[in-house]
Amino acid sequence: MTQTPTQPSDHPASDHIDAMLHENRVIEPSAAFRAQARVTREDYERRYRQSLDDPDTFWSEVAGELHWFKPWTQVLDWQPPHAQWFVGGQTNIAFNALDRNVARGLGGKTAIIWEAEDGEVRTYTYAELLREVKKAANALTDLGVQPGDRVTLYLPLTPEAAIAMLACARIGAVHSVVFGGFSVSALADRINDAQSRVLITADAGQRRGSLVNLKGNADEAAKLTPSLEKILVVCRADCDAPMKEGRDVWWHDALNAASDDHDALPVDSEHPLFVLYTSGSTGKPKGVQHTTGGYMIGTYLTTQTVFDLRDDDIYWCTADVGWITGHSYSVYGPLLNGATVLMYEGAPNHPDWGRFWHLIQKHRVTILYTAPTAIRSFMRQGDAIPAAYDLSSLRLLGSVGEPINPEAWMWYWRTIGGERCPVVDTWWQTETGSIMLTTLPGAHASKPGSAGLPMFGVEPAIMTRTGEELGPDDGGLLVIKRPWPSMLRTVYGDDDRYRKTYWGEIQGVYFAGDGARRDADGYVTVIGRVDDVLNVSGHRLGTMEIESALVAHPSVAEAAVVGKPDDVKGESVVAFVLPQSGFTVDPKDLRAHVSREIGALARPDAIYVADALPKTRSGKIMRRFLRQIAAGKDIQGDTSTLEDPGVLDRLAATQPV
């Protein structure tokens, strides 16, 4: 087995490495799919080469397909580690997603089909969506929102989420979407970091038949966020939320009062479009900053080519807008391409595990883009459930968010795709803005478990920590050797962190934080994170973030958090806690506390109450050993640097609670 030099052999990813190294199946796209594909193998090779050899021509051609109020004078200005794309150009992404599509005759085409968990369906044509966005843009302006202002969104997955994002973009305001599953303090932290004056929320969200009190959380957060002046409230439930005079405004009242006449504001290509917070290896989530022109071109091109988009597709990306996948592939990418997008608000198992398949059958979905964790959950429920539905409308499947194990890949391809639909396994990140590694469905064979080849303009490499490039099949660190249009521009308010985290780990290249290897055909297999970031059900969580939530509880003196391989979630959260003297740790209370501090997805599955943690003499916690204990494995590796090696035996004998 190839050893990743930068990664201890006990890293959780090593199980994946094992499974993936023994995987050598190759699945070719069908002749029928190949015959109609937007990008053939020859197209890919020619365009990929051009994108590296003559990037100015390549990107000018792509960008030229969209509308610019003022043309750019320079394609790329690269002052490492800062890139500016389409310098001097002025555009507007909401204009390109809506006005431009209406102008080219798509006004009557369905833009969004939305289904709520309770089965309610609403649709918007491109013309209708444009009208709503214009009204929302006027409403935001009436509330005093200026270009460059940050607006925080804390919404369920309803059309209003897309409308609010597009309305911000239309007036040059910067949206910061906070996932509706996040807690009061996570919401407050993000509002404070962005210094938002306006928050858009809803009276409630729906999840598994019950209501989530978003407005209640917003009210609590408002007590902690001095910058906040106005809260716009979408009526999702019964419009019964308490409204604070002078601060709170119903969304529908504001839109009803607003004109539907509005011209999109031309903004500079590098005008900030949004901030999206994501977990890193230090305690505080970072505000990943994306700008307009490059992000627009990246999401436009990848949606079109990776999903082989055609006019009559019904495209469904299951991601919530609270994550980057929801930004790029539920909203911007497909709407820029004039696609019909399905949006589903609820849980995949409500009222039962057939819900996704029912939605596909009912709306005749042709493209499905979802996460491995969902695929593994469905797989567990057995083949009889999807077999009861007509999935013949599907023609393409996608996976994103974490490595997909070959078994889940094969199940997806066979049971959902009927061995007819190519599966694209797309690797990318909040920071990359759009898909970086994938196969193109009509151009390339798939190797289950391996994401595949670089997208246009992307130059990946596998390196050691010291920047030495590795050859085929050697495991190492995934890096990108040149800037690309949709890359993050900075960490909001902390450019130093941007430099250090992404371009300072290995000099001169973008450091993704993932371990990977590349085979002789150039296919990249991404193994998983090499930093202290967990991937739980496709969602990134920093171990430090959870640790600081744990130690904020009065009963906890010290805490260490590690991931444990999990068949469904990929990884689960395991906490080792040292009680504060005079306190006993109540696991139920502690879990509830973490949910309140961060959100339910950070809640530890297992808690070890310990009398000490394995530390080096210099006081560093050796998480490597904790991972072995959490996974129930024998301790391997050099324990001589530990201050008290006996602590490991005591921990191994402890039952988690």
Measured from the CB atom, the residue of 158 and 430 that comes closer to ligand 6R9 is: 430
Task: Give the pairing of strands 460-463 and 453-454.
Answer: unpaired
The pair of structure tokens assigned to 610 is: 């310990």
Angstrom distance (rounded) from CA 234 to CA 251: 5
Measured from the CB atom, the residue of 415 and 432 that comes closer to ligand 6R9 is: 432
> Torsion angle of alpha carbons 176, 179, 183, 189, nearest 10°?
-20
Query: How many C-beta atoms surround the C-beta of residue 90 within 10 A?
Result: 18
The pair of structure tokens assigned to 575 is: 């906490």
Measured from the CB atom, the residue of 196 and 450 that comes closer to ligand 6R9 is: 450
Measured from the CB atom, the residue of 68 and 332 that comes closer to ligand 6R9 is: 332
Rounded to a whole number of angstroms, the minimum distance from the CB of residue 76 to ligand 6R9 is 24
Rounded to a whole number of angstroms, the minimum distance from the CB of residue 52 to ligand 6R9 is 22
β-pair partners for 85: 76
Rounded to a whole number of angstroms, the minimum distance from the CB of residue 435 to ligand 6R9 is 8
| Alpha-carbon distances of 72 from 76, 88, 90, 455, rounded to whole Å | 10, 5, 7, 23
Residues that bind ligand 6R9 in the complex, under the rule CB under 6 A:
278, 323-325, 400-403, 425-430, 451, 512-514, 526, 528-529, 535, 540
Rounded to a whole number of angstroms, the minimum distance from the CB of residue 479 to ligand 6R9 is 12
Annotated binding site for Mg(2+): which residue ranges? 551, 553, 556
Cβ neighbours of residue 234 closer than 8 Å, sequence gap 6 or more: 155, 158, 160, 200, 201, 202, 203, 251, 252
| Alpha-carbon distances of 513 from 465, 482, 570, rounded to whole Å | 11, 16, 17
Annotated binding site: which residue ranges? 207-210, 325, 349, 401-403, 425-430, 514, 529, 537, 540, 551, 553, 556
Measured from the CB atom, the residue of 84 and 535 that comes closer to ligand 6R9 is: 535
Rounded to a whole number of angstroms, the minimum distance from the CB of residue 194 to ligand 6R9 is 18
Largest CA distance in the chain: 73
Rounded to a whole number of angstroms, the minimum distance from the CB of residue 375 to ligand 6R9 is 12
Measured from the CB atom, the residue of 272 and 448 that comes closer to ligand 6R9 is: 448
What is the amino acid identity at position 623? R
Query: How many C-beta atoms surround the C-beta of residue 557 within 10 A?
Result: 15
Angle between helices 55-63 and 292-306 (to 10 degrees): 80
Contact between 613 and 576 under an 8 Å Cβ cutoff? The reply is: yes
Query: How many C-beta atoms surround the C-beta of residue 474 within 10 A?
Result: 16
Residue nearest to ligand 6R9 (CB): 430
Annotated binding site for CoA: which residue ranges? 207-210, 325, 349, 537
β-pair partners for 490: 289
Measured from the CB atom, the residue of 136 and 424 that comes closer to ligand 6R9 is: 424
β-pair partners for 555: none
Measured from the CB atom, the residue of 201 and 439 that comes closer to ligand 6R9 is: 439
Query: How many C-beta atoms surround the C-beta of residue 475 within 10 A?
Result: 23
Angstrom distance (rounded) from CA 129 to CA 120: 18
Rounded to a whole number of angstroms, the minimum distance from the CB of residue 379 to ligand 6R9 is 17
Rounded to a whole number of angstroms, the minimum distance from the CB of residue 429 to ligand 6R9 is 4
Measured from the CB atom, the residue of 366 and 450 that comes closer to ligand 6R9 is: 450
Which H or E run includes 548? helix 543-551
Angle between helices 587-597 and 543-551 (to 10 degrees): 120
Angstrom distance (rounded) from CA 266 to CA 284: 34
Cβ neighbours of residue 248 closer than 8 Å, sequence gap 6 or more: 230, 231, 232, 233
